[in-house]
Amino acid sequence: MDRVTASIDVAGYLRRLRLPEPVGAAPSAESLFALHRAHAELVPYETLEIWLGRPTTVEPSDSVRRILRGRGGYCFHLNGAFSALLTALGYRVTRHVGGVQGNAERPAGATGNHLVLTVEGLPSVAAPEGRWLVDLGMGDGLHEPLPLTPGAFRQGPFAYALSESIAEPGGWRFDHDPRGSFLGMDFRGGPAEMTAFTEMHEFLSTSPESGFVRALAILRRDATGCDILRGLNLSRLGESETRTLLDRPADWFTAVTDVFGIPLDDVTAAERDALWRRLTEAHEQWLAREADQS
């Protein structure tokens, strides 16, 4: 694991998760679950920095500092930071190259657009071999770790499945709930360093072809579902789905803070105006595409 784990603010990170600092406590499955749940509920999956024109890196220490300032990030940031925290707390963590397929046209396999974590050495009734899939970077994905074993699982209103990957021999396949934001994800069995994700991070955060550049997304998972902000559309996905159009800037910025817990005190009035113009332009383009397809 990277040397940066030694320099992160563990106490500050745990305060961000509203969890007490363990004193002499050994890693356990119970504690891993508590950490994962708190992270999913309090640290949003978000691409706000891209839309504010603020470059980020995949360095876990940078991601931790941004999380401590109240931000989140996407998989490279969230799982990168979480891997640093777990390592600092004594967990046996491995990073893996993964690939998320948003639709049936995307090829299966670990294309490198996703960072996955596994943790081992924590046996329980659910995972006798002590291996867990840990992933905070799938947006409306996991609320808690999954036993790294083939099977069907349910977390709140969502059904998931794990199996051995056909596309990545020796790796694993995660199939999302049919109502989720993507089809599934494959990841390789071997370990990966953060440098494996640098090139893809550059593409995802800057390319006009990137979905992150085309549409702003903020998601927050909890035990009963997921809050989702895509562009100007705020939705709640649980046993049912509700959707609200936030077409006034005051409502939109209030939702970012109140629903997703993202402080915007570092965003100037000029930056807010520029962001709102980009959002409304993107929304109009989305409406035009929807009309063409109908």
Please give the pLDDT value at position 253. Answer: 98
> Whole-prediction pTM value?
0.95
User: Which amino acid type is present at position 49?
Assistant: E
In the chain, the domains with their CATH numbers are: 214-293 (3.30.2140.10)
84-97 as b/e, with b when 16 or more CB fall inside 10 Å?
Answer: bbbbbbebebbbbb
The 3-state secondary structure of 209-248 reads CCHHHHCCEEEEEECCEEEEEECCEEEEECCCEEEEECCC
pLDDT on residue 6:
52
Residues 6+ apart with CB under 8 A from 170: 188, 189, 190
Residues 50/107, Cβ–Cβ less than 8 Å: no
Tens of pLDDT along 242-287? Answer: 999 999 999 999 999 999 999 999 999 999 999 999 999 999 998 8
Q: State pLDDT tens for residues 120-155.
A: 999 999 999 999 999 999 999 999 999 999 999 999
29 pairs with which residues across the strands? Answer: none
294 or 116: whose pLDDT is higher?
A: 116
Q: Secondary structure of 252-279 in the HEC alphabet?
A: HHHHHHHCCCCCCCCCCHHHHHHHHHHH
Q: How wide is the angle at C-alpha 78 spanned by C-alphas 35 and 141, nearest 5°?
A: 75
178-210 confidence digits (pLDDT tens): 999 999 999 999 999 999 999 999 999 999 999
Judging by DSSP bridges, how do beta strands 146-147 and 151-155 pair with one another? unpaired
